[in-house]
Chain A
Amino acid sequence: MRIGIVCPYSWDVPGGVQFHIRDLAEHLIGLGHQVSVLAPADDDTPLPGYVVSAGRAVPVPYNGSVARLNFGFLSAARVRRWLHDGAFDVIHIHEPASPSLGLLSCWAAQGPIVATFHTSNPRSRAMIAAYPILQPALEKISARIAVSEYARRTLVEHLGGDAVVIPNGVDVDFFAKAEPKPEWQGEGARSSFEGGGGRREDSAAARRASVEGGGGRREDSAAARRASVEGGGGRREGETIGFIGRIDEPRKGLPTLMRALPKILQARPKTRLLVAGRGDEEEAVDALPESMRDRVEFLGMVSDEDKARMLRSVDLYVAPNTGGESFGIILVEAMSAGAPVLASDLDAFRQVLDGGAAGELFPVEDADALAASAVRLLGDRERLAELRELGSRHVRRFDWSTVGAEILSVYEMVTDGAASVAPDERTGLRARLGLARD
Chain B
Amino acid sequence: MTFTLIWIAAAIILLGIYLSWTAGRLDRLHARIDAARAALDAQLLRRASVAQELATSGILDPAASIVLYQTAHAARQAEDEQREVAESELSQTLRAVFAEPDTVQAVREAPGGPEAVGELTAAVRRTPMARRFHNDAVRAARALRRQRAVRWFRLAGHAPFPLAFEMDDEPPQALTAEGVSR
A interface, CB within 8 angstroms of B: 110, 135-136, 138-140, 142-144, 160-164, 354, 393-397, 402, 406, 409-410, 413-414, 416-418, 426, 429, 432
Partner of A409, one of B24, B126, B136, B139: B126
Beyond A162-B132, A413-B130, 8 additional contacts (C-beta under 8 Å) are A110-B28, A139-B28, A140-B32, A144-B132, A162-B135, A397-B180, A402-B177, A414-B35
Given A136-B25, A397-B177, A406-B125, CB of A160 within 8 Å of CB of B17? no
Q: Are B139 and A413 in contact (CB under 8 A)?
A: no
What is the bound-complex CA distance between A135 and B25, given in angstroms?
10
Q: Are B139 and A162 in contact (CB under 8 A)?
A: yes
What is the bound-complex CA distance between A406 and B21, given in angstroms?
35
Q: Are A161 and B136 in contact (CB under 8 A)?
A: yes
Given A162-B135, A397-B178, A409-B129, CB of A417 within 8 Å of CB of B25? no
Say whether B12 faces chain A, with CB atoms less than 8 Å apart: no
B interface, CB within 8 angstroms of A: 17, 20-21, 24-25, 28-29, 32, 35-36, 38-39, 42-43, 122, 125-126, 128-130, 132-133, 135-137, 139-140, 143-144, 177-178, 180-182
Given A161-B139, A426-B24, CB of A413 within 8 Å of CB of B129? yes
In the complex, which residues of chain B have a beta carbon less than 8 angstroms from the beta carbon of A429? 17
What is the bound-complex CA distance between A366 and B29, given in angstroms?
48
Closest 6 CB pairs of A and B: A139-B140, A161-B136, A396-B181, A162-B132, A164-B129, A162-B136
What is the bound-complex CA distance between A62 and B128, given in angstroms?
35
Given A402-B177, A409-B129, CB of A393 within 8 Å of CB of B38? no
In the complex, which residues of chain A have a beta carbon less than 8 angstroms from the beta carbon of B39? 413-414, 416
Count CB-based A-B contacts (< 8 Å): 81
Partner of A417, one of B17, B35, B137: B35
What is the bound-complex CA distance between A140 and B136, given in angstroms?
11
Q: Are B43 and A413 in contact (CB under 8 A)?
A: yes
What is the bound-complex CA distance between A129 and B129, given in angstroms?
30
Q: Are A397 and B38 in contact (CB under 8 A)?
A: no
What is the bound-complex CA distance between A418 and B128, given in angstroms?
20
What is the bound-complex CA distance between A160 and B20, given in angstroms?
25
What is the bound-complex CA distance between A429 and B139, given in angstroms?
27
Which single residue of chain B is at the shortest CB-CB distance from A140? B28
In the complex, which residues of chain A have a beta carbon less than 8 angstroms from the beta carbon of B32? 139-140, 142
In the complex, which residues of chain B have a beta carbon less than 8 angstroms from the beta carbon of A410? 129
What is the bound-complex CA distance between A396 and B179, given in angstroms?
11
Q: Are A160 and B143 in contact (CB under 8 A)?
A: yes
What is the bound-complex CA distance between A432 and B23, given in angstroms?
14
Interface-centre pick from A162, A402, A406, A426 (highest chain B CB count, 10 A): A162
What is the bound-complex CA distance between A278 and B130, given in angstroms?
43
In the complex, which residues of chain B have a beta carbon less than 8 angstroms from the beta carbon of A397? 177-178, 180-181
What is the bound-complex CA distance between A138 and B133, given in angstroms?
13
- 13 A-B pairs, CB-CB below 8 angstroms? A110-B28, A139-B28, A139-B144, A142-B32, A143-B129, A143-B133, A144-B133, A164-B128, A164-B133, A406-B125, A409-B122, A414-B35, A416-B42
Q: Are A163 and B136 in contact (CB under 8 A)?
A: yes
In the complex, which residues of chain B have a beta carbon less than 8 angstroms from the beta carbon of A418? 35
What is the bound-complex CA distance between A302 and B120, given in angstroms?
43
What is the bound-complex CA distance between A142 and B134, given in angstroms?
8
What is the bound-complex CA distance between A72 and B6, given in angstroms?
32
CB distance from B58 to the nearest CB of A (A): 29
CB distance from A112 to the nearest CB of B (A): 8
Q: Are A139 and B132 in contact (CB under 8 A)?
A: no
CB distance from B147 to the nearest CB of A (A): 11
CB distance from B63 to the nearest CB of A (A): 32
Q: Are B181 and A142 in contact (CB under 8 A)?
A: no
Partner of A354, one of B35, B130, B136, B178: B178
